[in-house]
Amino acid sequence: MLIAHIPGRPIEGVELARVLADGLGRLDVDDRRVLLVLPDDTRTLPMPEIFGTLVRSIAPRAGSLAALVALGTHHPMSPAAVGRHLGAPLGEDGRCAGVGIAQHRWNDPSALVRVGTIGRGEVRELSLGMLDEEIPVEVNRAVLDAEFVLLVGPVFPHELIGFSGGHKYF
Is it the case that residue 23 has pLDDT exceeding 80?
Answer: yes
Is it the case that residue 156 has pLDDT exceeding 70?
Answer: no
Among 148, 113, 116, 115, which residue's Cα sits nearest to residue 37?
148
* 44-57 burial code (b ≥16 CB/10 A, e <16): ebebbbbbbbbbeb
164 or 34: which leads in pLDDT: 34
Q: What are phi and psi of 21, to 5 degrees?
A: -60, -40
Per-position DSSP letters for 73-117, written without gaps between them = TSPPPPHHHHHHHHTSPPPTTSEETTEEEEE--TT-GGGEEEEEE
Q: 18 exposed, middle or buried (CB, 10 Å; 0-12, 13-18, 19+)?
A: middle
Q: Give Dmax over CA atoms of the chain in angstroms.
A: 51
Q: Could you tell me the pTM of the whole model?
A: 0.84
Is it the case that residue 163 has pLDDT exceeding 90?
Answer: no
* 102-136 burial code (b ≥16 CB/10 A, e <16): ebbebeeeebbeeeeeeeeeebeeeeeeeeeeeee
Handedness of CA 145, 51, 107, 133 (dihedral sign): positive
Among 74, 101, 76, which residue's Cα sits nearest to residue 87?
101
pLDDT computed for residue 170 by the predictor: 59
**DSSP H/E element including 150:** strand 148-151
Quickly state the pLDDT bin for 84 (edges 50, 70, 90).
very high
Contact 65, 36 (CB under 8 A): yes
What is the average pLDDT across 93-114? Answer: 92
